[in-house]
Amino acid sequence: MSEGRSDSAPAVLDAAAPLGLDPPAGRLTWRRSGKRLFDILLSLALAPLALPLIAAACAAILLTMGRPLFFRQARVGLGGRRFMILKLRTMRPGPADSQVATAVGDQRVTPVGRWLRRFHIDELPQLWHVLVAEMSLIGPRPEQPDLAEAYSREAPDFAFRQLMRPGLTGWAQVRAGYAADLAETRVKLDHDLYYLRNCSFALDVEICVRTIGALLSGAGAR
């Protein structure tokens, strides 16, 4: 598989309609145009709040963990295309090719990193990915390539998540929390497929409201 493309993407797209993942005209219009405008405007509105938080987090990381301040890792995006996701570093350095989901009480997470994760401050740099159209504010979370392939072998419908840009938050995140294994991933997949079928302005607003609640409470972090 070449960098930036997935050989399985066309088959996934062709099979979308029979599985009911092709939404009605109104929802399709929102997904193709309104959603992108929503992403740009809200990301720009969030920038004045996000930038000071990122700066403060970088200072905390530098003082307690040293460099690097950021963590970059390959993720699977729209149509199976890969991109390098950017996050604030919350873990001790490990093997560069390690692709393991974070478990409850994961010892790789530092004390400062745990606090950043609790309030999802480590995800704020991904607003850049939203602005350059690699991600959306709302959609299925982007998965690591090796994990995406493994999950797709066990649950073939997992590949249908590639029909939409991955999101900073999503219906699966606000309904099912974090997933670290196949069983938890199957539960979240059901919510992701529901979102693919029912994506709309009203649902996106509901997800935003639920996300704010989760951010304030620190719920669902690992």
Whether 91 shows a pLDDT value over 60: the answer reads yes
Mean residue pLDDT of the chain comes to 83
User: Is residue 28 assigned to a domain?
Assistant: no
User: Is residue 18 assigned to a domain?
Assistant: no
User: Is residue 207 assigned to a domain?
Assistant: yes
Strands (E), 31-144: 70-76, 82-88, 136-138
Name the pTM for this structure.
Answer: 0.81
User: Is residue 131 assigned to a domain?
Assistant: yes
User: Is residue 55 assigned to a domain?
Assistant: yes
The structure tokens listed for 30 are 């929102």
**Residue 87 parent element (H or E):** strand 82-88
User: Is residue 30 assigned to a domain?
Assistant: no
User: Is residue 3 assigned to a domain?
Assistant: no
Q: Which domain holds residue 113?
A: 35-217
User: Is residue 29 assigned to a domain?
Assistant: no
Query: What mean pLDDT comes out for the span 123-136?
Result: 96
Residue 29: predicted pLDDT: 72
| Residue at 98: amino acid letter | S
Q: Among candidates 144, 148, 172, which has minimal Cα distance to 87? A: 144
Total number of domains constituting the chain: 1
pLDDT in tens, 133-163: 999 999 999 999 999 999 999 988 999 999 9
